[in-house]
Structure 1
Amino acid sequence: MGVLSLMLLVVSLYAVADDKSPAVEWTAPACGWIYDGLTNKSDQERVAYPVPPIDRGAQRHRIAIEGKLKNLNGVRQPHTLVVNGNPLPLYTDDDGRFVRPYAFGSGSNSVALISSTGERLQSVQFYDANTEKTPARIRLIMGWDDPGAEVDMHIITPDGQHAFFADPVLSNGGGLDVDGVDGPGPEIFTMAAPLHGTYLVYVNYWGNLTEEGYNFNAQTNRNDMITTQITLVLNENTINEKRENFIVPLRTIGELQLVKTFRY
C-alpha cells in the first residue's frame, strides 16, 4: 500500500465490548479527499446546525463534524471530541446526535471521539485538498463544558486590534473562523501571517442560553463552575508546531480572564 493510500485510510478504533457499549456513527467528515471551498456553490445545500452559528463574514470553509452516539444508557456527558489533537467537550441531544462546526486546515486532519467514561470509540482521518487555504501560523481553539452558557474568546494582536464576536475580521489578516453561539463551542481564532509581537488571549463568560434565548440569569446555566479549555497551536501542521493547553474556570456572568500572553 502506498503512502497516499495510507494517508487516506480511515482509522477505526472500536472499544472491545458487547453490543450495548457506547459506539459512534460518523455522518461527516468522511475519509478521503475533501475539496471544501472549491465546490461550495450558492445553489448547493448548506450545512444546517441545530442552532446555526452567526456568520459574520469570517467563517469560511467550515466543515460539519456530525454523527450519533449510540447505546449511551445513561452515560454522563460531556464526552470529548478530539480534533487534530485538540480536545473539545461534546454534548449530544436525547437521541445521541451531535453536530459541531470546525474550521479545518488544508492537508491531513483527524477527528476522534472519546466517551465520558474514557473509551476511545472511533476516529477518522481525511485529507483537505483545498489549496486556497493558507496554513495557520497561530490558531486558538476554545470549548467549554456547559451547553447553556455562552463564552467568548477575545484576542488582542500586537498592533492593538481586538478580535471578538462583534468584530471578528481584523485588517491584519487575523479573525474568528468559528464563533460558536449555541454552546459549548468551538470558537477558533486563526492568523496565517502573524505580526511579530505580543498577543493577549482572554475569555469572557458572556451569559446563558435557554429555549427563550440569551439571558444574564445565573440560575439558567447547568454548572455552578464552567470549565473552559483553550488550545494554542503555533505553526500548525509543520515540523515547528508547538501546542499548549489551558484550563480556565469561570463562575460569574461577566467574568473576563486573561488566559495567556505570548510572543510570536
Structure 2
Amino acid sequence: MKQTLVFMLALASVPAFAQDGNALTAPGGGWNRAGLVDKSGELAVNYPYNLIDRGAQRGRRMIEGSLGKVGKKRPFHTLVANGNPTPLYTDDDGRYARAYSFGSGSNSVEVRSPDGKSLKRVQFYEADRTRPQPVIRIIAAWDDNQAEVDLHVVTPDGQHAFFGHPALTNGGGLDADTVDGPGPENFTMTSPQHGLYQVWINYWGNFGGDGYHFDESTRQKPIITSRITLVFNENTAKERRESFVVPLRRIGELTLVKMFKF
C-alpha cells in the first residue's frame, strides 16, 4: 500500500486565485513516517495511503487537489515537485491528480498561479531510507490540454518505454499514460544502465468528449510546445538538469529530443 499526498486547494472560481491562508489545507509539512500501517487520520505528519503498484513505479504517490471551477481554457496553474515545474490541468470541477515518485530525504511540492504567485508550498521529509532515489528522471509536459502527446524512452539494452509498455524489466518505467491534460508524463530509473539513452516525443492525436480523434482544428494553439526535462541524481548534491522546448506542429510528428550517455 502506498502513501498519497493530498492537496486541498480552496480557490475561488473568479478570479482563479486564492488567498495564501486557504490555498492549501492538507497535508501538513514535516516528517513522513514510513510503513504499511494506514495512518490516514494523522494528516499533520502522515498522508493517506493509496493502492498503487506498478512494478518499477511502485514508489510513486498521487498529488491531488482542487483549483475551483475556473474553466478549461484559463491560463494554466503550475505544479512544482522537487523544483520540476509542469502545467497543472484540472477537470470541469477544478480537480486534479498527478503522480510523482518521491525519493528519501527532503521533498517539496508547490502550486503556483498563472501569474507565478506561489499559492502554497509544502516541504516534507521522507524518513524511509530504503526508498530509492531516482537517478534518471525524464519529464514531458505540453501546453494544450486537448493534445494527446506521448513520451518515449529507449534504454541502452534496447527496451522501449511508452504508453503501451510502461514498465521495463531493467527497473525503468513510465507513470500511467496521461490523456486528460498537458502531462506530465514521467520516466524514472533508480539503478540506470550505462550506455546510450534516446528520448522521443510524439504528438499522437487529440482527446475530447467523444474520445480520441485526429482533427487538428481543435487545437488551442497553432503550434503546441512541449517541454522535456532531464533530471540526473535528483534531490542529491550531484543533481543536474537539462530542459528542451520542442514545437509540435502536426499530428503524427515524432521528434528525437535527446540522445545521451550515462
Residue pair 2:104, 2:126 contacting (<8 A) in 1 also: yes
The equivalences for 1:94-173 within 5 A come to 94-173=92-171
Q: Contact conserved, 1:65 with 1:101, CA < 8 A, in 2?
A: yes
Deviation at 1:251? 1.7
Which residue, 7, 17, 20 being the options, matches 1:22? Answer: 17
Counterpart residue identity of residue 226, structure 1: I
The residue correspondences of 1:214-229 to structure 2 (distance < 5 A) are 214-229=212-227
Pairwise mapping of residues 50-69 of structure 1 onto structure 2 (< 5 A)? 58-69=56-67
Residue-by-residue CA offset, 1:91-128 (whole Å, 9 max, x unaligned): 23455443322222222111112211222222111122
Worse overlay, 166-175 or 217-226: 217-226
Q: 1:116 to 1:135 in 2, by over 3 A?
A: same
Q: 1:152 to 1:56 in 2, by over 3 A?
A: farther
Question: Quick one: distance in 2 between partners of 1:36 and 1:213?
Answer: 40
- Report SS of the residue matched to 1:89: strand
- CA gap of 1:229–1:211, structure 2 versus 1, over 3 A, is same
Identity of aligned residues (%): 57
SS in structure 2 at match of 1:262: strand
Q: Which runs of 5+ in 2 are unaligned?
A: 1-14, 40-47
Match of 2:186 in 1: 188
Q: Any stretches of 5+ residues in structure 1 without a counterpart?
A: 1-19
Name the aligned partner's letter for residue 22 of structure 1: F
Count of residue pairs brought into register by the alignment: 238
The answer as to whether partners of 2:82 and 2:107 remain within 8 angstroms in 1 is yes
The aligned amino acid for 2:142 is: W
Distance 2:194 2:217 in 1: 43
Q: Distance in 2 between matches of 1:152 and 1:37?
A: 34
SS in 1 for 2:197: strand
**Letter aligned with residue 212 of structure 2:** Y
Cα offset for 1:29?
Answer: 4.7
Shift of 1:256: 0.6
Partner of 2:220: helix, strand, or coil?
A: coil
C-alpha change, 1:27 and 1:203, in structure 2 (3 Å) is farther
Task: Indicate which of 158, 174, 185 corresponds to 2:172.
Answer: 174
In 2, Cα distance between equivalents of 1:217 and 1:73: 22
Distance 1:256 1:25, change over 3 A: same
Q: Distance in 2 between matches of 1:77 and 1:259?
A: 26
- Mean alpha-carbon deviation: is it higher for 131-140 or for 155-164? 131-140
Partner of 2:196: 198
Matched, 1:256 2:251: no
Contact 2:138 2:231 in 1 (8 A): yes
CA 1:162/1:33 → structure 2, altered by over 3 Å: closer, same or farther?
Answer: same
